[in-house]
Amino acid sequence: MNTTSVNRRRFVLLRCARCLLVLSALLLSHQLYAAERGKVVGGMPHATPDWFKESFLEIQDDVDEATSEGRHVMLFFQLNDCPYCTRMLSESFETDPTQAYIQQHFDVIAVNVRGDREIVFNESLTLAEKTLAEHLKVRATPAIIFLDAENKAVVRVDGYRAPQRFQHVLNYVSSQAYKKYTLREHLDQHLARNVYQLRDNPLFTATTDLSAVTGPLMVVFEDGSCYDCAEFHDKLLAHEDVQAELKPYEVVRLNTDDATEIIDPAGNKTTAKAMADALQMTYRPGVAIYADGQLRRRSDSLLYSYHFKEGLRYIAGGHYQQEDYRSFAQRRREELLAAGVTINLSE
C-alpha cells in the first residue's frame, strides 16, 4: 500500500472518530436534558362506571327517555387523568349511598372535554365533544350539568364536591325543587350548620373594609356547613408553595353565617353571605381573588396546591393584564418542566 493510500485511510478513520465523538456528545446532551426536565405526576386515569349510559349522543332523545322513566339526564364532563374527576367518581359515583341514589334518579352520560365524538345537543346544535365543552365554557373538570324535561340546564356544578354536599344537589334536581327556588336557597335550607367550626389562621387579616386593601386581595368564604374547610387549611394553606405565592396578598376570611356588615372591594355595604351570593358561590370554602379593586379570579370548588398557587401567581404577577389564564397556565407549565420541576397535580 503506497503512502497516499495510507494517509487517505488515516484521514477517513480520523473523521469517523470525530463523528463518533460528536454523536456521543449529542447523545449525552440529550440524556442530560431528558434527565433534568421535570415531569407531571399525580394524574389519575379513571374509567367511568360501567353503569353510565351508553348514549347515541342525541341528547334530546336521552332526555325524553329519562323523563318518561321519572329521571333526569346528568352530563358528566371529564378530562383524562383529572384528579378531581377521579376523586368525585370514587367518592360519589362508586360509593353508596350516593351511587345508588344516582342510579335510581339519573341517567349519566360521560363527555370527554377533549373528545371528538359528535353530540347532537339539541335541534340547532351539533358539535364534537371538545367543541361543545368550549361552547358551554367548561373551564374546570368535572363539570356536571343537569337537564330538565325540556332539555334545559337547571343546575351546573363546576369542580369537585364532597359527597355530602353533592347529595343535596342531587336531591334538589330529583325533587324538581328547581321549579320553586334556586340551588343556593335549597342549600341554605338543608345543609347542616355544625359540620365545621371556623378556625384561626395566621395568614388571615381581620378587616371588614375590603375597599381599603391596596394590593392583591384573597377573600375566603367559610361557614359551618363546610365539609372541605379542614382540608383547605391543613393541606392547601399549609403548603409551602401556596404560602410563597400568598406573600403579596392580604387574605381575609369571611364567615357567611355571620350577619355583621362589611364593605366589599367596590366600597358597598353588604354582608359576607350577600357577597358570596352575589358571586354565585354555592361551595365552601369559596375563594375570590381581587386586584385593582376588581374580581379577577374565583374558585368555587376544591383545588389542589399546584392549580391553586398558579392562580395566585397569575393575579399577583399582573399576568391577567396581558394574557388569559389558559395561555398563562400552558406557558408556566412548560417553564417549570424546562427548569426540571416536577409538577404534582394531586398533592
Q: What is the CATH number of the domain that holds 99?
A: 3.40.30.10
One domain for residues 220 and 179: no
Nearest residue to 89 (alpha-carbon basis) of 45, 57, 37? 45
Sheet of 217-222: strand order equals 250-255, 217-222, 286-291, 294-299
β pairing state of 261-263 and 143-147 = unpaired
In-domain check, residue 199: no
One domain for residues 335 and 237: yes
Count of CB atoms within 10 A of residue 108's CB?
A: 20
Q: What is the pLDDT of residue 5?
A: 52
Give the pLDDT band (50/70/90) at residue 24.
low
Q: What is the pLDDT of residue 109?
A: 98
Query: Which structural domain, as residue segments, surrounds residue 322?
Result: 210-344
Dist. CA 214–CA 291, nearest whole Å: 8
One domain for residues 340 and 242: yes
In-domain check, residue 21: no
Tell me the pLDDT tens digit for each residue of 174-204.
999 999 999 999 999 999 999 999 999 999 9
| Contact of 83 with 42, CB cutoff 8 Å | yes
In-domain check, residue 134: yes
pTM for the whole thing? 0.86
Average pLDDT of span 196-223: 96
Average pLDDT of span 136-162: 96
Domain end residue (candidates: 157, 190, 223): 190
Tell me the pLDDT tens digit for each residue of 265-297.
999 999 999 999 999 999 999 999 999 999 999
Domain end residue (candidates: 129, 157, 190): 190
Kindly report which listed range (30-44, 52-66, 181-195, 318-332) carries the lowest average pLDDT score.
30-44
Residue 267, sorted as left (phi over 0), alpha (psi -120 to 50) or beta, turns out to be left
One domain for residues 166 and 228: no
Domain end residue (candidates: 162, 190, 218): 190
One domain for residues 337 and 242: yes
One domain for residues 152 and 214: no
Tally of domains within the chain: 2
In-domain check, residue 300: yes
Q: What is the pLDDT of residue 35?
A: 55
Give the pLDDT band (50/70/90) at residue 92.
very high
The proportion of the chain whose per-residue pLDDT surpasses 90, expressed as a percent, equals: 88
One domain for residues 83 and 164: yes
In-domain check, residue 15: no
Tell me the pLDDT tens digit for each residue of 110-124.
999 999 999 999 989
Dist. CA 312–CA 306, nearest whole Å: 10
Tell me the pLDDT tens digit for each residue of 58-85.
999 999 999 999 999 999 999 999 999 9
CA dihedral defined by 110, 115, 118, 124, rounded to 10 degrees?
80
Average pLDDT of span 6-22: 49
One domain for residues 161 and 224: no
One domain for residues 157 and 84: yes
One domain for residues 165 and 226: no
